[in-house]
Structure 1
Amino acid sequence: MHEALEALFLGVVEGLTEFIPVSSTGHLLLIGHFIGFESAGNTFAVMVQLGAVLAVLSIYAGRLWNVMRAAPHDPEARRFVWTVLVAFAPAVVIGVMAHDIIKTVLFETPRLIAMMLILGGVVLLFVDRLAIAPKHDDAMRLPIWTALRIGVIQCLAMIPGVSRSGATIVGALALGCSKRAAAEFSFFLSMPTMLGAFTYDFWKNRDVLDAEQFGLIGLGFVAAFVSGLCVVRWLLGFVARRGYAAFGWWRIIVGTIAMIWLTFG
């Protein structure tokens, strides 16, 4: 029962933090470290993310279905599909090559995670204050080259604490996307990225997952889906009005508290 409650709590944290630029994986790993939550092969922190991604898919299902239906005869629809796939491609290459190092070294280094939270917060504050005139207001009409560069930047998030959404949003803002378009493209890119991470991690750890582990992942999955729904609906309006500074400060505060706890706790 104790582990089940921890899994539910961590699932809620995942859903609340997956799409805001604060590093859901960093939060899960740090909280898991401090409360003593363990999962075989560190699979929980990766596989539970699919719940949050399905929350995005459910919200954008209508638009995505229309795109897929139109793709065979509509060049604009095909172009959007290609931009997402091109942006996803770097994560496939780097993720497969670096998977073992990420899971056995980086995931096991809480001080690194805390440092990345602080550093990422500083970067987010800096980029949010830049007076960059947006060149791209529609996340579904980004140039292919812009999408590829966002995808390369996304790979930085394989270091836990960097934040996948944070990396893609900062990259998109720096490349001339509006704040809303940056958040939306991050949503779209999360779908193949997290599905790919889930599938590959499941395959790599299939021999160490048992019924208990699947049960905990399932609880976290459901909690992440429900909390993710709330965040996605709220986030776009928030960033359009207020930008990303609040998330930068949140990262710095959480990272600093974690570093102090790791040093003196």
Structure 2
Amino acid sequence: MDAIYALVYGVVEGVTEFLPISSTGHLIVTGHLMGVPWTKEVKDTFEVVIQGGAILAVVAYYWRDLLGQARVVGHDKQVQQLWLGLVIACLPAAALGFAFSDEIKHYLFRPSVVAWALIVGGVIIWWLESRRDTSQVHRLEDIGVRRAALIGAVQCLALLWPGFSRSASSILGGMLMGLDRETATKFSFYLGIPTLGGAALVDFIKSRDLLGEIGYGTVAIGAVSSFAVAYLAIGWLLRFVATNNFKGFAVYRVVVGALILVLVYTGHLSNAGV
């Protein structure tokens, strides 16, 4: 059954990582619903590590752009500014994760917390999409270090409140900073490379023995399925935001959050930390 659990986890991670609906929240609830028998420490580590598969999907999807940027970064000021901004943007989340990761996992990785994060995030998305469009930035190279740093600060909301969604917080932060919807979405993909890639690598190095309890083959199944599904999800989301807003995701978040609360308060879903 471990292989089945890993496959389901990987598919859920791949579908939800880059959509503004919270991969962490969906993985927590998925683990509860499947009754995964792994220890809490193994599940927490596994969920973070398979994010590495989703991040590799970003690298694969944008490999031509990334290679082109690598070739000119030594003399192209705009590319240098873009990657300096990305590095600065990931630092707040990295610092918080280093300091409080274990406490957040222990106290906040539970369905009711996720449910309220989904609902509140959905309301914010609806509000933001109902405003008059004031976007001024239409290219990654024009974001600048200051905007990138502020987006990185907003991204911390996802770490502090499981279920809010890293992609949602970074996309919403980008839109609040004047990025148009497509540019904010693409920046969120890029920002995931150092943010999630670093977290996945650190957790893998720190917790190799824990992952050995379920076998590295099981981990590989989760990571590979996450990669394949995330690759498809990236292309779909980019096509979607070209002609649509995020209000549909706002409705989805509120409905799913309300459903989780009903299941928790009627006793059909355990609210214990996983």
Q: Indicate whether the TM-score tops 0.5.
A: yes
Q: Which amino acid aligns with 1:9?
A: V
Partner of 1:189: 191
Q: Deviations over 1:214-248 (max 9, x none)?
A: 33221111111111111111111211211111111
Equivalent-residue separation in structure 1 for 2:192 and 2:146 (angstroms): 18
Partner of 1:90: 92
Equivalent-residue separation in structure 2 for 1:51 and 1:126 (angstroms): 32
Partner of 2:271: none
Partner of 2:257: 255
State whether residues 7 and 216 of structure 1, in contact with CA within 8 Å, keep that contact through their aligned partners in structure 2. yes
- State the TM-score, normalized to the length of structure 1: 0.95
Q: Deviations over 1:170-202 (max 9, x none)?
A: 111111100000100000000011111112222
Equivalent-residue separation in structure 2 for 1:199 and 1:163 (angstroms): 20
State whether residues 82 and 144 of structure 1, in contact with CA within 8 Å, keep that contact through their aligned partners in structure 2. yes
Alignment of 1:1-265 (within 5 A): 2-40=1-39, 41=41, 42-107=44-109, 109-158=110-159, 159-210=161-212, 212-264=214-266, 265=268
Equivalent-residue separation in structure 2 for 1:221 and 1:204 (angstroms): 17
Unaligned runs of 5+ residues in structure 1 are none
Q: What's the CA shift for 1:211?
A: 5.3
Unaligned runs of 5+ residues in structure 2 are 269-274
Structure 2 CA distance for partners of 1:16 and 1:92, relative to 1, 3 Å: same
State whether residues 39 and 213 of structure 1, in contact with CA within 8 Å, keep that contact through their aligned partners in structure 2. no
State whether residues 12 and 26 of structure 2, in contact with CA within 8 Å, keep that contact through their aligned partners in structure 1. yes
- State the TM-score, normalized to the length of structure 2: 0.92
Structure 1 runs (4+) greater than 3 angstroms displaced: none
Give the aligned length.
Answer: 263
Q: Which amino acid aligns with 2:23?
A: S
Q: What's the CA shift for 1:63?
A: 0.5
Q: Deviations over 1:58-117 (max 9, x none)?
A: 01011111111101111112111111111111111111011111222222x221111111
